[in-house]
């Protein structure tokens, strides 16, 4: 029974066309979670559409537009059991146009599988831009366990040298953003052919690491922050006939029980938890990491929306009038200055925020102050800035509730910076 096993959220991330959805589809098929007849049907459909090799990707890519374009747009969820765990599998989009959806997916995850095409390089021979961006965002979003699937080994005839070159480039990047080598587990594989997904196969005799399923099963259960106040960012809100308003989201911290008095901020709506469901099973309480739908008495569908955060009425979520944050500028065509108003992505909220003050420029390696009141921050710089959201926004100090204190800054279709909240001036 799934409920007896520890539950983990596992997100698959990576650059577009590097084989994320195919890998997930192949994994579920090899495990016996997807029938052969379904894969056969998808294969026939894919060939008709001129997309041979897409049959496994379609297990997760359900939207018509996704199938037509051959890319993952929205987040797809599936459940999977292994010997040790009960997983919610999250397939996040890799295409740069849909990074905001990827952020939502990654923000729900306990661990990530980063899928990297062994053969693809940018114009300068380096890693692809979304690979770099996804590593950076994984770090920002607090994902501490990463499995790297170095994929499409079949496209380079399973050459060990190609694997080693890619692994070395990735290792440097992980270290640059602050990951320790022991947090990363590398797997050589072919999602399309099935090599080293469940079984190693002859083509990868030289590889002495784990299979993908072995790496997934050796993940560690993160310590659940059950002692912290309840924080559940809302992903969607449904109105279900005969039941009522059902918000959906992942518990970040604290515990929600049936009968709890809860509040939603910044909406300011209050209600009582009547029922809690996870994967269509009714449960008496929800803990950190659980993706749930819950029925709330006293709250209408129009009272709350995605980006709101649910907490107990006695310890409600913090609505920020302004906040100071430590940021690292990943890339910016010119520089970040006072008045700059990009979109901040924090948990499920996406809110334009204005930079009102550049407090200091920091040494990215040591955190020491290099300059007070700098005029600008450019790519590669770290600093402390003050921010005012353009509309009410829930965010917490990273020292008090770390899961709710991180954010990514996006503008012009790309991730500009990432940061964590140091201090807050609440609006109430």
Q: What is the pLDDT of residues 38-67, one digit of tens each?
A: 556 655 665 565 554 544 444 444 434 433
Q: What is the pLDDT of residues 353-375, one digit of tens each?
A: 999 999 999 876 566 889 999 99
Report yes or no: 145 and 219 within 8 Å, Cβ to Cβ.
yes
Low-confidence stretches of the chain (pLDDT beneath 70): 1-3, 32-78, 91-108, 122-126, 137, 140-141, 364-367
What is the pLDDT at residue 61? 40
- From residue 241, how far is each of 180, 295, 330 by CA, in Å? 49, 12, 46
Candidates 1.10.8.290, 3.30.9.10, 2.40.30.10, 1.10.443.10; correct CATH number of 232-312? 2.40.30.10
Instruction: Say which CATH topology domain 319-426 has.
Output: Elongation Factor Tu (Ef-tu); domain 3 (2.40.30)
Say if strands 369-372 and 349-362 run parallel, antiparallel, or are unpaired.
antiparallel
* Domains in the chain: boundaries: 2-217, 232-312, 319-426
* Interatomic CA distance for residues 254 and 264, integer angstroms: 15
Q: Do domains 232-312 and 319-426 have the same CATH topology?
A: yes
Domain 2-217 - what CATH class?
Answer: alpha beta
Structure tokens belonging to residue 61: 């890519």
Task: Please report, to the nearest 10 degrees, the dihedral formed by the alpha carbons of residues 252, 257, 262, 266 taken in order.
Answer: 20
Cis peptide before 266 (omega within 30 of 0): yes
Alpha helices in 249-312 (DSSP H): none
* Interatomic CA distance for residues 14 and 20, integer angstroms: 7
pTM > 0.85: yes or no: no
Structure tokens belonging to residue 347: 């948990």
Beta strands in 129-231 (DSSP E): 146-151, 184-188
Residue with tokens 């890319």: 71
- From residue 428, how far is each of 90, 262, 316, 318 by CA, in Å? 36, 17, 11, 8
How many other C-beta atoms can be found within 10 angstroms of the C-beta atom of residue 75? 19
Q: Name the CA radius of gyration of the chain, rounded.
A: 22
What is the pLDDT at residue 298? 92
What is the pLDDT at residue 39? 54
357 pairs with which residues across the strands? Answer: 386
Tallying the residues shown for the chain, one arrives at 428
Say if strands 111-117 and 7-13 run parallel, antiparallel, or are unpaired.
parallel
């Amino acid at each position: 029974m799934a409920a007896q096993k520890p539950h983990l959220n596992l997100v698959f991330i990576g650059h577009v066309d590097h084989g994320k959805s195919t890998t997930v589809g192949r994994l579920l098929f090899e495990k016996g979670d997807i029938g052969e007849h379904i894969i056969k049907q998808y294969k026939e459909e894919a060939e008709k559409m001129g997309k041979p090799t897409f049959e496994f990707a379609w297990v997760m890519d359900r939207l018509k537009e996704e199938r037509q374009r051959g890319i993952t747009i929205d987040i797809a969820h599936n459940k999977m059991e292994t010997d040790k765990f009960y997983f919610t599998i999250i397939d996040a989009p890799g295409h740069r146009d849909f990074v905001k959806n990827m952020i939502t997916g990654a923000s729900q995850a306990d661990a990530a599988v980063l899928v990297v095409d062994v053969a693809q390089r940018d114009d300068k021979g380096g890693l692809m831009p979304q690979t770099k961006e996804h590593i950076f965002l994984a770090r920002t979003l607090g994902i501490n366990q990463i499995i790297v699937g170095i994929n499409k080994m079949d496209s380079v005839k399973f050459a060990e040298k190609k694997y080693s070159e890619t692994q070395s480039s990735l290792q440097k990047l992980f270290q640059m953003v602050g990951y320790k080598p022991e947090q990363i587990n590398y797997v050589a594989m072919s999602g399309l052919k099935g090599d080293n997904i469940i079984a190693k196969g002859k083509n990868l005799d030289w590889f002495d690491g784990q299979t993908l399923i072995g790496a997934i099963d050796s993940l560690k259960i993160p310590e659940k922050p059950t002692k912290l106040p309840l924080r559940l960012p809302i992903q969607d809100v449904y109105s279900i006939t005969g039941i009522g308003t059902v918000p959906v989201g992942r518990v970040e911290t604290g515990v929600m029980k049936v009968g709890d008095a809860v509040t939603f901020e910044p909406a300011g709506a209050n209600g009582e938890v009547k029922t809690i469901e996870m994967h269509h099973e009714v449960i008496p309480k929800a803990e950190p990491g659980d993706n749930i739908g819950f029925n709330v008495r006293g709250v209408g569908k129009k009272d709350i929306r995605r980006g709101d955060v649910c907490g107990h009425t006695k310890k409600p979520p913090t609505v920020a009038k302004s906040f100071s944050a430590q940021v690292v500028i990943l890339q910016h065509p010119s520089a970040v200055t006072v008045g700059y108003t990009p979109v901040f992505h924090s948990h499920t909220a996406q809110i334009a925020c204005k930079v009102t003050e550049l407090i200091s420029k920091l040494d990215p390696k040591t955190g020491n102050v290099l300059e007070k009141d700098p005029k600008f921050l450019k790519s590669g710089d770290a600093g402390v800035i003050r921010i005012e959201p353009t509309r009410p926004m829930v965010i917490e100090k990273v020292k008090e509730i770390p899961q709710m204190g991180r954010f990514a800054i996006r503008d012009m279709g790309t991730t500009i910076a990432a940061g964590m909240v140091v201090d807050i001036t609440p609006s109430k």
